[in-house]
């Protein structure tokens, strides 16, 4: 398997900005994004439904970057009241966010013929409806602050490419893509950009738990580099979309993939 490149140091690309990242606890894309944002000079409000992991992540990052740079608030994105409380906090403490990363999602593997309603609904409610709830709250915050902002959603290449056992997840991620494009048109009036990343395969502990070793091996073989992405490689592209180098991009879905055609 190919080796990942050297870790890219921060360059102050987000200095002075306040970012909210959902599902930011642990070692996945959200956690990597929160770290990258801090390395780029942003203040970060971490959010996650897993309270223990969230507290541990906040403590570790605060020890490294300073207590004033990172805060945390539990939030289950399937609960509208919790979403409202999350955005109320960042508005009260910082006048609203500058960047919102909708990373929260739920996957799994199940053939459609055997899939229960509950399996379908849980994935859709977290991955698509949760992104909708947070996008709506973010647009309201940006509109009220009048200072513009950026939303970056986490989609997936399975929103474009069929994969057996992923009907619920693929439908949710395709929905995130459509939501991103429509929200971008509406958000332009507020000076807000809305884009999404679409990773192919980024390895992290939660993915290992919900995916078989055989499927992970098969997916890795499809990648041109012969390896999966590190979560920070996805986070690098999120940094680009959150910052000024992408100032003319909105409504775009950016693949972060080396998958063979």
Helix or strand (DSSP H, E) at 68: none
CB 101 within 8 A of CB 73: no
CA pair distance 256, 251, nearest whole angstrom:
16
Question: Known catalytic residues?
Answer: 169
CA pair distance 186, 58, nearest whole angstrom:
34
- CA-based end-to-end distance of the chain: 19
18-256, CATH topology level: Rossmann fold (3.40.50)
With 0-12 / 13-18 / 19 or more C-beta atoms within 10 angstroms meaning exposed / middle / buried, residue 179 is buried
CA pair distance 10, 131, nearest whole angstrom:
28
- Our measurement of the distance from residue 116's CA atom to the centroid of its chain's CA atoms, rounded to an integer in Å, reads 26
Predicted pLDDT of residue 118: 97
CA pair distance 109, 188, nearest whole angstrom:
37
The ranges assigned to domains in the chain are 18-256
Return all residues near 79 (Cβ < 8 A) that are at least 6 apart.
none
- pLDDT tens across the length of the chain (261 residues): 567 889 999 999 999 999 999 999 999 999 999 999 999 999 999 999 999 999 999 999 999 999 999 999 999 999 999 999 999 999 999 999 999 999 999 999 999 999 999 999 999 999 999 999 999 999 999 999 999 999 999 999 999 998 899 999 999 999 999 999 999 999 999 999 999 999 988 865 555 444 556 666 666 667 777 787 899 999 999 999 999 999 999 999 999 987 754
CA pair distance 64, 62, nearest whole angstrom:
5
CA pair distance 93, 177, nearest whole angstrom:
31
Predicted pLDDT of residue 226: 77
CB atoms within 10 A of CB 159: 19
């Amino acid at each position: 398997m190919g080796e990942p490149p050297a870790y890219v140091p921060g360059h102050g690309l987000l200095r002075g900005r306040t970012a909210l990242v959902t599902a930011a606890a642990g070692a996945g894309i959200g956690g990597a994004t929160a770290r990258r944002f801090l390395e780029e000079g942003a203040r970060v409000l971490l959010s996650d439904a897993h309270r223990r992991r969230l507290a541990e992540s906040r403590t570790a990052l605060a020890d490294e970057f300073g207590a004033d740079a990172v805060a945390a608030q539990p939030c289950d994105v399937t609960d509208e009241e919790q979403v409202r409380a999350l955005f109320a906090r960042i508005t009260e403490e910082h006048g609203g966010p500058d960047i919102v990363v909708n990373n929260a999602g739920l996957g799994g593997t199940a053939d459609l013929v055997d899939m229960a309603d509950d399996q379908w609904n849980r994935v859709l409610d977290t991955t698509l409806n949760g992104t909708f709830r947070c996008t709506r709250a973010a647009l309201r915050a940006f509109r009220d602050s009048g200072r513009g902002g950026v939303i970056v959603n986490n989609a997936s290449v399975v929103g474009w490419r069929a994969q057996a056992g992923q009907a619920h997840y693929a439908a949710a991620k395709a929905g995130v893509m459509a939501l991103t494009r429509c929200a971008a048109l509406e958000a332009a009036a507020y000076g807000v950009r809305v884009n999404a990343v679409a990773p192919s395969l980024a390895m992290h502990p939660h993915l290992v738990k919900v995916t078989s070793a055989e499927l992970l091996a098969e997916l890795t073989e499809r990648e041109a580099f012969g390896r999966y992405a590190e979560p920070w490689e996805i986070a690098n592209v999120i940094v680009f979309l959150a910052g000024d180098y992408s100032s003319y991009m909105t409504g775009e879905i950016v693949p972060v993939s080396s998958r063979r055609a």
